[in-house]
Amino acid sequence: MGRDEFVFLLIGLKWTVALSVVAFICGCIAGLIVALARTSGITLLERITAGYIAVFQGTPLLMQLFVVYYGLALIGIRMDAWAAVSVGLTLHASAYLGEIWRGSIEAVPKGQTEAAKALALRYFSRMKDVVLPQAIRISLPATIGFLVQLIKGTSLASIVGFTELTRAGNIISNQIFQPITVFGIVGILYFLMCCPLTIYGAHLERKFAASTR
Amino acid sequence: MNYTLDFTPVIDGLPSLLSACLGTFFLAICGMLLATVIGIGGVVLRQSPIKALRWLVIGFVEIIRNTPFLVQIFFIYFALPLAGIRLDPTPTAIIALGINGGAYAIEIIRGGVQSISKGQMEAGLALGLHKAQVFRLIILKPALRAIYPSLTSQFVLLTLSTSIASAISAYELTSVSQRIESDSFRSFEVYFTVTVFYLVISWVMMRIFAFFSARYFSYPVK
């Protein structure tokens, strides 16, 4: 494996990072909406979001990407693979993050909401200033855990036909017939992205466990 | 844009899709069994007095947990023949699923074993229980009860990740649906139907797990 092949892998790596960042940021925004709707107290909204979460947690990410990819084309939205995969991963992330944050919003003691109500804070301010800051703190380890899962999930974009790290590895391995070397390096690159996050997540978890003891 | 949905190819392919569901179940169940074996073995090694063995297990868990399953399955698919092992895609997929699930199972089972304090065992012996009874009732059952929810939700994830085995064309639902799709070009219809199938499969899995949980792990007095 020469220098050119490695550079090609690094270009793939760039797209993996871009895909992860876009999906995570958009997923956070959509996930927050899902989490707020899920805990809104409005039965209809709660039912709909519960169903939304159940569908995404009960089906493979690969199928979600396929359905979004072909479904968008079907309703007349022409998109390249990059945009379609971003949309698919964003929806996937919004469901998982919505469920994680629902848990942490519910984990904030009820007295906090009651106190905020007693101080005549409106819903918006109650959430922004009282509940969410605490909930986000609680959810951090799980959120980082999901980010790792999302980075690994971007590899499935290769099956839909988007050239990110795994597909770059596939192409190179078909060219130079050294699949073990190529996928070994691809694996190491993923590991270098995910491992620091995993360690940081475990560190936060220990820190919070110590502070609540 | 006038596109009319046409589910005829899906209906025609229904028998092969349904038997492919069984293929998915087969992959998932074999993968779970292998993952459980690797999980228990890994926990035993993780607590061995030999430092090198402990680090080997830690390294294995971290490598598997921080790389995508798709890359792992490709690596195993190409590495096994080099090691002189020639296998069909389906057994290869089972090995990959077992290794992947095993790494997660090690972490989960380790947590369960650690949750049983030594005092429990001593209390059991002091109450005059037999050693086998202490193991079964005081160590094994509470440990299983503690890990059951996370282990089974990990197993549902494993079931869903069998779809990735289509990348090496193992026999399961996704690869069969890809074949029907490439024959008929009814991509959305095929994948939409298969997504519903997966939803049913994971729901069935969860019901089965919940049944066992209620049957064996419920507390006698509430």
pTM: 0.90
> Which domains are present in chain B?
10-216 (1.10.3720.10)
Q: What is the set of domains in chain A, with CATH numbers? A: 3-212 (1.10.3720.10)
Contact A26, A92 (CB under 8 A): no
Q: Which two tokens stand for residue B72?
A: 């792992």
Q: Which residue has the tokens 């064309």?
A: B169
A184: which chain B residues are within 8 Å (Cβ-Cβ)?
A: 75
Contacts of B1 in chain A (CB under 8 A): 75-76
Q: Within an 8 Å CB–CB cutoff, is residue A179 touching chain B?
A: yes
CB B54 within 8 A of CB B48: yes
Q: Which pLDDT tens digit goes with each residue over A94-105? A: 999 999 999 999
**Which chain A residues touch B167 with a CB distance below 8 Å?**
159
Q: Which of B109, B99, B182, B92 has the alpha carbon at shortest distance from B145?
A: B109
Residue B220: pLDDT band (50, 70, 90) is low
Rounded to a whole number of angstroms, the distance from the CA of B103 to the nearest CA of chain A is 14
Position B221 confidence tier, pLDDT thresholds 50, 70, 90:
low
> Which regions in chain A score pLDDT beneath 50?
none
Q: CB distance A153–B68 less than 8 Å? A: yes
DSSP letter string, chain B: -------HHHHHTHHHHHHHHHHHHHHHHHHHHHHHHHHHHHHHHHTSS-HHHHHHHHHHHHHHHTS-HHHHHHHHHHHHHHTT----HHHHHHHHHHHHHHHHHHHHHHHHHHTS-HHHHHHHHHTT--HHHIIIIIIIHHHHHHHHHHHHHHHHHHHHHGGGGGGGT-SSHHHHHHHHHHHH--HHHHHHHHHHHHHHHHHHHHHHHHHHHHHHSS-S--
Measure B160 CA to nearest chain A CA, in Å.
Answer: 5
3-class state of residue A1 by DSSP: coil
Collapsed DSSP state (helix, strand, coil) of residue A201? helix
Distance from CA of A33 to the nearest CA of B (A): 24
Per mean pLDDT, which range of A57-66, B26-35, B71-80, B212-221 is the poorest? B212-221
Residue of A nearest to B81 (CA): A180
Give A71-90 as a DSSP string. HHHHTT----HHHHHHHHHH
Q: With an 8 Å Cβ cutoff, are B160 and A59 in contact? A: yes
Residue type present at position B67: T
- Contacts of residue A194 in chain B, CB cutoff 8 Å? 65-67
Distance CA A208, CA B111 (A): 18
Closest by CA position to B109, among listed B83, B73, B149, B144: B144
Q: What is the pLDDT of residue A156?
A: 95
Query: Does residue A121 belong to the interface with chain B, where contact is any CB pair within 8 Å?
Result: no
Assess contact for B21 and B173: CB atoms under 8 A. Answer: yes
Amino acid at A24: F
Taking the C-alpha atoms of residue A86 and residue A25, their distance in angstroms, rounded to an integer, is 11
Is A152 within 8 Å of B79 when comparing Cβ atoms? no
DSSP A121: -
Mean pLDDT of all residues belonging to chain B: 90
| Interface mutation vs chain A, best among B1, B6, B60, B71, most A CBs within 10 Å | B71
Cβ–Cβ gap B75/A187 under 8 Å: yes
Taking alpha carbons only, the member of A204, A169, A211, A171 closest to residue A190 is A169
- On whether any CB of chain B is under 8 Å from the CB of A63, the answer is yes
Predicted local distance difference test score (pLDDT) of residue B92: 95
User: In which band, very low, low, confident or very high, does the pLDDT at B6 lie, cut at 50, 70 and 90?
Assistant: confident
Inter-CA distances, B28 with A25, A169, B78, B106, Å: 32, 27, 22, 18
